[in-house]
Every structure is written in structure tokens, then in C-alpha cells.
Amino acid sequence: MDNLKWETLSTEYIIQKPWATMRKDTCRMPNGTIVDDYYVLEYADWANAVAITENNEVLLVKQYRHAADVVLLEIPGGVIDAGEDPKTAMKRELLEETGYLFEDIEQISTMYPNPSTGTNRCHVFLARGGKLVQGQKLDAHEEIIVEKVSIKEVKQLLAEGKFGQALHISSLFYALVKLGEVKM
């Protein structure tokens, strides 16, 4: 069976808010089985970056994540605004969250955070040569601490399980492979 795609028979929106949209789909599988009440979360795409300064320091951010009730060590990133391309969004997010401007920004991966229940993608970038040009310009609900560490320290933090966000861990892996720090 080469055709695995489901046919959506009906959709009902349950929640439609700026940061949370949920719908209930009724679908038909290729074998004819009807799937009732399949819940889908619609989120905007977002971007994150392994950002390396002109002094070869990796920028990390610490921030509180309410749903998990934890403060996490992460890489910079955020939501891609409507009509914005991923690279432009990443450049903007780096400047807002860290105050660093990056001209050398390369997309190294695109992944789905949870394609069984969510529609969004995460665009992963490697940013190099960043220069501090301003202070942070955070959103009203953001409190972010920026940390600078060496690539060796990033590898140690990964080995010690100090990152808690799965997309950031996989993004760091892709960047370390791209930089030749992890051999395949």
C-alpha cells in the first residue's frame, strides 16, 4: 500500500486563539476505516539557531517554561510571524533575544515537533559571526538570561543532559555535525 494519506471528511474548530488553535477532524484511512474525533493543534512555525559569536562563543538562553514549570537552558528562537520567511524571523529573534546581529545564517534542518498532533515545523539555523549591537528587546511575557559558552562546553552540557527541550537538543546535534564536531 503506497498511499498512506488520510482523507479529511470534516473539520470542526474547538479553540481559535492566537496561541492555541485546536480542531477536531473526521478522516477516512486508505483502507476505508473512519477515524472520528482526531484532534489537531494548529501552531505557527518557529525557528531556532545555534548562534556562534565572532569570538567563537555559543549563545544560550535561560528562560522559564510555564507548561513544564521549569527554567530551561535553550538556544535562541521563536515564532515565525505571518508572512515572514524563516531566515528573516531567525535574524529578528536573535537580535531581540540576545542583542546580537548575525549576517551568516544558514538553514541546516527542518523538523516537525510532533506531527501526529501538531501542524507546525521548526526551522533550524546555524548562525555565525554574531556581533553585539544592542540590548535585548523582549516581548512583555519574556524574561531571558543570555549565556556565552564554548563549543566544548556545549558538548559537555549535552553529555550531562543539561538541555531539556528536545528540538534544541536535535538542533545542537545538527549544528555540531555541520561544524565537524560530531563525526558521522
Q: How far apart are CA 9 and CA 32, in angstroms?
A: 12
> In this predicted structure, what is the pLDDT of residue 183?
83
> In this predicted structure, what is the pLDDT of residue 175?
98
When the pLDDT of each residue in the chain is averaged and rounded to a whole number, the result is 95
Over residues 119-132, the pLDDT tens digits come to 999 999 999 999 99
> In this predicted structure, what is the pLDDT of residue 112?
96
Quickly state the pLDDT bin for 2 (edges 50, 70, 90).
confident
Over residues 10-26, the pLDDT tens digits come to 999 999 998 789 999 99
Q: How far apart are CA 120 and CA 81, in angstroms?
A: 13
Q: Which CATH superfamily is domain 46-178 in?
A: Nucleoside Triphosphate Pyrophosphohydrolase (3.90.79.10)
Query: Is the pLDDT score of 136 beyond 90?
Result: yes
Which of 38, 6, 34, 5 minimizes the C-alpha distance to 22? 38
Query: Is the pLDDT score of 172 beyond 90?
Result: yes
> In this predicted structure, what is the pLDDT of residue 184?
79
Query: Is the pLDDT score of 97 beyond 70?
Result: yes
Parse the chain into domains and list their residue ranges: 7-42, 46-178
> In this predicted structure, what is the pLDDT of residue 19?
79
Q: How far apart are CA 50 and CA 16, in angstroms?
A: 32
Residue 1 CB partners (closer than 8 Å, separation 6+): 30, 31
Over residues 54-68, the pLDDT tens digits come to 999 999 999 999 999
Query: Is the pLDDT score of 48 beyond 70?
Result: yes
Which of 153, 119, 137 minimizes the C-alpha distance to 41? 119
> In this predicted structure, what is the pLDDT of residue 57?
98
